[in-house]
Structure 1
Amino acid sequence: MVYLTRQEHFNAAHKLANPKWSKEKNEAMFGVCANENWHGHNYDLFVTIKGEPDPETGFLFDVKKLSQLIKVHVVDKLDHKNLNLDVDFMADKMCSTENLAIAIWEQLIPHLPKTVQLHCIKLYETPRIYVEYFG
């Protein structure tokens, strides 16, 4: 089994706030991340697929095609967007990094060929905070 990872990058704004809670409760739980004027991150996304290399090409999957899939189905929808307001697949979800990683998985899985499996989404919110999701 071979694992292949492609790294991509995007910038996005969001806020963490439960609409069912008071402003005070949101601030107590989420601190400055509940700022009503939003805040942003420079996200680093690592998409790992797995499978067996093609005996004729030696490739698990063409990394240019993988990059294009990620760009079309994820990065173009997230980059320089407000996750709470602009991203259809984040509608009605708390815009945590955890939920964003799950949503990215759900965006990619239908578009990968049957010759590979999606293994992991690793999403860095900051250099010191990241989430890994294995489906």
Structure 2
Amino acid sequence: KQPQSEIGTRLCRSGLLAAEHSNESKSLSDEENLKLFGKCNNPNGHGHNYKVVVTVRGEIDPTSGMVINLTDLKAYMQEAIMEPLDHKNLDKDVPYFADVVSTTENVAVYIWENLQKRLPAGALYKVKVYETDQNIVVYKGEETTSE
């Protein structure tokens, strides 16, 4: 029997969002933050044009020929990603990041959690966030394996 993660077809949809942030951990001193995050700890913040790729999985519906209706996926991504994050200061405008450092890793987790609430159970497979062409984070949720 195949593991659940190997079942079905994958469908990806991408989107672009612009957001500002400053990497800073409240549990570190100003000096420690500067040493850890370097120029990304600019107190005035800095911006990124993030590319987000969402991958869903599932069986192809024999009637529609689709894993998920792209119109629905686009709407879910609009609600879960674009509305709360696009053209926002992550640290000041998004309550999630009040106590969570707004690294790209945590942005990917935030997107995953927001999408997970909207998509059919088990449909979300992967969230990939490109901070830059060189810095890319892939998050697949809390992966579990059955013994």
Q: After TM superposition, is the score higher than 0.5?
A: yes
Give the match for residue 97 of structure 1: 104
Give the match's secondary structure for 2:93: coil
Task: Show the 5 A alignment for 1:35-54.
Answer: 35-54=42-61
Task: Show the 5 A alignment for 1:1-135.
Answer: 1-114=8-121, 117-135=123-141
Give the match's secondary structure for 1:84: helix
Amino acid at match of 2:74: S
Q: Is the 8 A contact 1:90 1:103 kept in 2?
A: no
Offset at residue 95 of structure 1 (A)? 0.5
Give the match's secondary structure for 2:28: coil
Cα deviations by residue, 1:38-86 (Å, 9 ceiling, x for unpaired): 0000000000000001101101111121011101121111001011110
Instruction: Count how many residue pairs are aligned between Structure 1 and Structure 2.
Output: 134
Offset at residue 91 of structure 1 (A)? 2.7
Offset at residue 29 of structure 1 (A)? 0.8
Offset at residue 97 of structure 1 (A)? 0.5
Give the match's secondary structure for 1:70: helix
Offset at residue 120 of structure 1 (A)? 0.1
Offset at residue 12 of structure 1 (A)? 0.2
Q: Distance in 1 between matches of 2:80 and 2:108?
A: 13
Gaps of at least 5 residues in structure 1 are none
- TM normalised by structure 1 equals 0.95
Q: Distance in 2 between matches of 1:61 and 1:70?
A: 13
- The sequence identity of aligned pairs, in percent, is 40
- TM normalised by structure 2 equals 0.87
Q: Distance in 1 between matches of 2:136 and 2:106?
A: 12
Give the match's secondary structure for 1:50: strand
Offset at residue 17 of structure 1 (A)? 1.1
